[in-house]
Structure 1
Amino acid sequence: MLTVDFDRIGVGPGVRVIDVGCGAGRHSFEAYRRGAEVIAFDQDAPELDNVETMFGAMAAAGEAPPGASAKTVQGDALALPYGDDTFDVVIASEILEHVPADEAAIAELVRVLRPGGQLVVTVPRWLPERICWALSDEYHANEGGHVRIYKASELREKVAKLGMRFVRDTHVHALHAPYWWIKCAVGVRNDNHPLAKAYHKLLVWDMMKAPRVTRTAERLLDPLIGKSVALYFVKPAVQRAAL
């Protein structure tokens, strides 16, 4: 389940991509499939071990084209171990809501992106997230949990003030918003609740089969209750001189 639209950002052979806060690796895997030079970056060593294993399996199965590369790197998003202007594409999906010093993290994302490169940042959308917080403290008030709820305009301003040019935003995963509302209402860890189980089964069926009825429903509902918002930016090739 991808939150970033790869067709919008031109990921392909020879493109240098860093997926900051890669988690289980879903966006790193897609970039690798498309032939990019991928860095899957995260602070969670066990998670990165799983991502590394999947990279190896993908290579063995021929799922990545010749010339593609992928590796995992453990580190801190507040101090990326790369020089300025290193990457063509920087992805930060569903991580900034976890980071207390979010503006410092954003500055690092911008710093390592080359002029002309693209940055994609995704976070939970304000309304679906606000409902989750209202229904359950357990949903967010835990170690490593969400520390803030963004309005898209607020996040856009935080990135744009570093000289980035905003391109577009999209809302995605509308069918997942009701699932999390149900989970928050019945207990986040209560996976055996009949309603939660039934809705999860629906989501799995949708992801595996992608039937037209659910794909159409989600496309229509995304602008209203999309669980996540994705913001796309370009780093200008020529920075304006300071006045």
Structure 2
Amino acid sequence: MITVDFSRLNVQPGSRILDIGCGSGRHTCEAYRLKEIQVTGADLNPRDLLEARGRLEYHDQLGEHGGGTWSLSAADVTRLPFADESFDLVICSEVLEHIPDHGKAMGEIVRVLKPGKPLVVSVPRWLPERICWTLSDEYFNANQGHVRIYRKKDLIRHLERTGTRFLDHHYAHSIHSPYWWLKCLVGPTRTDSTAVNLYHRLLTWDIMQKPWITRSIDRLLNPLLGKSLVLYFRKV
């Protein structure tokens, strides 16, 4: 699922994009669709990088790209192996909630961004995440180790201290929130819950087919129940 709204970013041909904590490459692949982009996906998990490579190679086979290039890097967000001011856009989606030293991570993602260029950060939204933590003591460990829950104003303040200016925000994936609440109720690591598996099939159908009804419901409920908080900044 795509969390970042690329239409807000006005990415120019030839831009260099870093997707840090790229996971299986969802945003890396979406950026690769833009015209003549040089996109780098970076993550610490080798399995995720292998999956991202497979997805990017599949885009190459189908010709579903904008004529640019892609690369992948094994990288720690607190010690990025890139020079200062290397990228025209940095995406850090659903990463900071996993990082104990999030201040160092924020400093790094801003360090490698060129002045005047955009930074996009998304994290789990406070209310849906708090409900998950309340429903299950296992959730924050089972979900790859969430170490904190952010309030919007606090995260904005942290990132502006690193030399960025807050521009805008939106919420995303409201129909995913009940799925995670349901998982927490039955046990976040269980795989035999019929209700959870049926809901997962619904979400997979929504992602693959993009039907108007679920997309409309998602947009309608995002201001209230959106699972992700998406923040847009510019480096000063």
Task: State the TM bucket, normalised to the shorter chain.
Answer: over 0.9
CA RMSD of aligned residues (A): 1.4
CA contact (8 A) 1:173 1:227 kept: yes
Rate the CA distance shift 1:145–1:111 in 2: closer, same or farther, 3 A. same
- Give CA-to-partner distance per residue, 1:209-228, whole Å, 9 cap, x none: 22222211111110001000
C-alpha separation in 1, matches of 2:54 and 2:6 = 23
| Corresponding position of 2:135 | 135
| Corresponding position of 2:59 | 58
Moved over 3 A (4+): none
CA contact (8 A) 1:85 1:113 kept: yes
Q: Aligned letter for 1:225?
A: L
**Which runs of no fewer than 5 residues in structure 1 stay unpaired?**
237-243
Matches within 5 A, 1:1-243: 1-35=1-35, 36-66=37-67, 68-142=68-142, 144-236=144-236
C-alpha separation in 1, matches of 2:32 and 2:99 = 26
Q: Aligned letter for 1:147?
A: V
C-alpha separation in 1, matches of 2:211 and 2:61 = 30
**Which runs of no fewer than 5 residues in structure 2 stay unpaired?**
none
Shift of 1:34: 1.2
CA contact (8 A) 1:12 1:31 kept: no
Q: Aligned letter for 1:49?
A: L
Shift of 1:153: 0.8
Q: Which 10-residue stretch deviates more, 193-202 or 36-45?
A: 193-202
Q: Which 10-residue stretch deviates more, 149-158 or 10-19?
A: 10-19
The percentage of aligned residue pairs carrying the same residue is: 46
CA contact (8 A) 2:142 2:189 kept: no
Shift of 1:205: 2.2
TM-score (norm 2): 0.95
C-alpha separation in 2, matches of 1:79 and 1:138 = 29
CA contact (8 A) 1:11 1:31 kept: no
Shift of 1:196: 1.0
C-alpha separation in 2, matches of 1:136 and 1:119 = 32
CA contact (8 A) 2:93 2:122 kept: yes
Shift of 1:192: 2.5
Q: Aligned letter for 1:122?
A: S
